[in-house]
Amino acid sequence: MREIRPHKPLHFLILGIALVYVAVLLLAPIVSIIQRALENGFEPVITSLSEPNVIHALQVTFLMTLGAVLLNTVFGIIIAWVLTRQRFRGRRILNILVDIPFVFSPVIAGYTLIVLFGRSGWLTPTTIPIVFALPGVMLAKTFVSLPFVTREVGPVLATLDTEPEQAAYTMGASQWTTFRRIVLPNIWPGIMYGVVLTLARALGEFGAVSVVGGGIEGKTETATMFVFRALNDRNDIGAYSMSLLLGVTAIIVLIVMRLLRRSVVREQAAYVNHSG
């Protein structure tokens, strides 16, 4: 698309509308959180984030997020491979099902997990509790962040030429060796970008986690649920401090996403030029 520098009144009007919209909905809340959290300096923030219940909430958040990222990375690559390289009945249905977390309400997703794994549920486990326990929190985070690796890896796989793979098979290489040495290096930027998106989505999840986990302090409470509880308890400094920490984490994730996106674009351009 051809870039146009604003020089007409209409162009400046549209630019102004875009800037005001972003400032009101994005910049103003961020600035407000930073200002409220740091109005008395860094010491109250550090003290608040050092409390045992806060540390536990952060541990639960990052451990469950890591579990969701690992699961969705492995199975996301498998699903992307199946959708891209195989033709079978029900493929379109599977392709649609992958996108369900994009349109499914997180609260309903949490309730669905209760229906499946709760007391008298369809798949109620007899040994490991899931509902109102950490496994349920991880399942909720996994569900809401499921599509990202698949949707980032799939298009990259679709553009790869299969001739190098066929040549490797002809030379006696196994499927795993061919995937590891030929396919994986080419789809690695897409995997990493999908992982970052999965991390960002799972890290900030609230609705599904609050329903299936219950937000039990010291047990299943995550960072986002701590913010919600702190606001209800009039613990403003705690809410602002945790929000500031999550905001900084989100900004770091955003920077990594931008860097990885550039890497993906460069890899795709290099591959197209090499193929041409």
Query: Quick one: pLDDT band at residue 210, thresholds 50, 70, 90?
Result: very high
pLDDT value of residue 38 = 85
Query: Is 271 a residue whose pLDDT tops 60?
Result: no
Where is average pLDDT lowest: 33-42, 197-206, 236-245? 33-42
Per-residue confidence at 175, pLDDT binned at 50, 70, 90?
confident
When pLDDT is cut at 50, 70 and 90, the band that residue 27 belongs to is: confident
**What pLDDT is recorded for position 272?**
56
pLDDT at 264: 63
Give the start-to-end residue ranges of the domains of the chain: 7-37, 46-275
- E strand map for 210-255: none
Average pLDDT value for the chain: 87
Amino acid at 129: P
pLDDT in tens, 54-91: 999 999 999 999 999 999 999 999 999 999 988 889 89
- At 1 the pLDDT is 47
Higher pLDDT, 124 or 108: 108
pLDDT of residue 28: 83
What percent of the chain has a predicted confidence (pLDDT) above 70? Answer: 92
- pLDDT at position 109 is 92
DSSP state of 47: H
Name the residue among 21, 14, 213 with its Cα closest to residue 117.
Answer: 213
* 137: pLDDT strictly greater than 80: yes
Determine the Cα–Cα distance for residues 161 and 195; give it in Å rounded to an integer: 24
pLDDT of residue 42: 87
pLDDT of 88 reads 87
Tens digits of residue pLDDT in 183-197: 888 888 889 889 989
Alpha carbons 29 and 37: distance in angstroms, whole number: 12
Q: What is 46-275's CATH number?
A: 1.10.3720.10
220: left (phi over 0), alpha (psi -120 to 50) or beta: alpha
Average pLDDT rounded to a whole number, residues 225-229: 94
The string of pLDDT tens digits covering residues 81-112 is 999 988 889 899 999 999 999 998 999 999 99
Nearest-CA neighbor of 44 among 238, 245, 230, 249?
238
Return the residue matching tokens 């986002």: 224
pLDDT at residue number 3: 57
Asked if 145 and 104 touch (Cβ cutoff 8 Å), the reply is no
Percent of the chain at pLDDT above 90?
Answer: 43
Q: What is the pLDDT of residue 2?
A: 55
Residue 247, classified by CB atoms within 10 Å of its CB into exposed (0-12), middle (13-18) or buried (19+), is middle
pLDDT at res. 153: 93
Residue 123: the pLDDT is 80
Judged against a pLDDT cut of 90, whether residue 30 lies above it is answered with: no
CA distance 212 to 215: 9
Other C-beta atoms closer than 10 Å to the C-beta of 270 total: 10
